[in-house]
Amino acid sequence: MTEPTSKTAEDIRRLRALNPQMRERDFARIHSISEGQLVAAEVGHTATRLKVDMSMLLHGLTGVGEVMALTRNESAVHEKIGVYEGVSVNAHASIVLGEQIDLRIFPSRWVHGYAIEKAMEDGTTKRSLQFFDRAGNAVHKVHARPATDVAAWTKLVSELRHDEQVDTLDVTAYVKAAPEAAPAPLSELRAGWEAMTDTHQFFGLIKKLNYPRLDALETVGEDLAWQLDHAAVEGMFRKVAGTDLPIMVFAGNEGCIQIHSGPIHKVSPMGPWLNVMDETFHLHLRIDHVVAAWAVRKPTKDGHVTSVELYDENRELIIQFFGKRHEGHGERDEWRAVVEQLPLFSTPNAA
């Protein structure tokens, strides 16, 4: 269903001028528009509409030097500073496999693109590339940094420039598909789960057996998935922060998954946010959005691997944490111990 906004581009620009410091996502929600519509309204002013050509974009980004890659959902913002490298483009799934910037991209969700260029009060220019799905939700953003090659950046924007520079954006909501059939029996879920040889087989398994992800965790049995106490989230960060234990942090949306691999150091809670502010990795996690935390054990050919997964009120995955490991090697004992020592969920007994 197409949902054009009742606000004109001029209306949006006028409202934005009254609230210039508000975060884009918050502004869009308050004014009942999508973030994509907010950005589109600036075409001809601070924004340029782009073609979404994945090959041209990703290969072009390898030439611009250091940038900040940002991928988020409603509850987690994942930021990595580095260069785009190790690019592989495919119609169904593309990859950026760099030392710092590590992305799994699903191109069908990348529908609208814009380059934004804003003059700041201190005389600098703030530049970004922003991409949205058909509903106007942000799937990925690239922010220029002081070390970015501005000439290469400008050349890429020119090559991606769309022939039609319009300042409106009609959005089409995604409708969640109903289950095609009843979930398979527990015995089939357990058998398929225990037969896995790679964690990437998990999504195909639960799809084949008609299990939403969280339903599968709740059903399979506590030897393979067990619910954690809410305190486990901050507890996990306390246990790994400042150590040399490398972890993997997966966060994103239907169009892009962004991955951090390595130790974390500076963890700073602030209000409802739990923040990681390291040199090349920033994470902003809304702890108050976490409704369920789970530890999950999946078999691989190198032994089982253990993850911590956080879910929101819609039973959607917010973020995943793994211990970093190399293909052909088992999971680190230190990471497994961290997860297995986290506090378990318990229901208070009735008085």
Report all structural domains of the chain as residue ranges with CATH numbers, in order of start. Answer: 2-94+109-172 (3.40.1570.10), 186-267+285-340 (3.40.1570.10)
User: How far, in Å, CA of 193 to CA of 206, rounded?
Assistant: 9
Kindly indicate the confidence band of residue 350, based on its pLDDT and cuts at 50, 70 and 90: very low
- Is 220 in contact with 186 (CB distance < 8 Å)? yes
Cβ–Cβ < 8 Å for 190, 206:
no
Q: Is the pTM of this model over 0.85?
A: yes
- Closest to 75 measured CA to CA, from 311, 281, 306, 349: 311
Question: Band of the pLDDT at 132, cuts 50, 70, 90?
Answer: very high
Query: Collapsing DSSP states into helix, strand and coil, what is residue 215?
Result: helix
pLDDT tens readout for residues 93-121: 999 999 999 999 999 999 999 999 999 88
Find the range with the poorest average confidence among 13-22, 127-136, 213-222, 307-316. Answer: 13-22
Give the E-state strand segments of the chain in sequence order. 2-3, 47-50, 67-72, 76-82, 87-88, 94-97, 102-105, 112-119, 125-132, 138-144, 171-172, 225-228, 247-252, 256-262, 267-270, 273-277, 281-286, 292-298, 305-311, 317-323
CA–centroid distance for 143 within its chain: 16
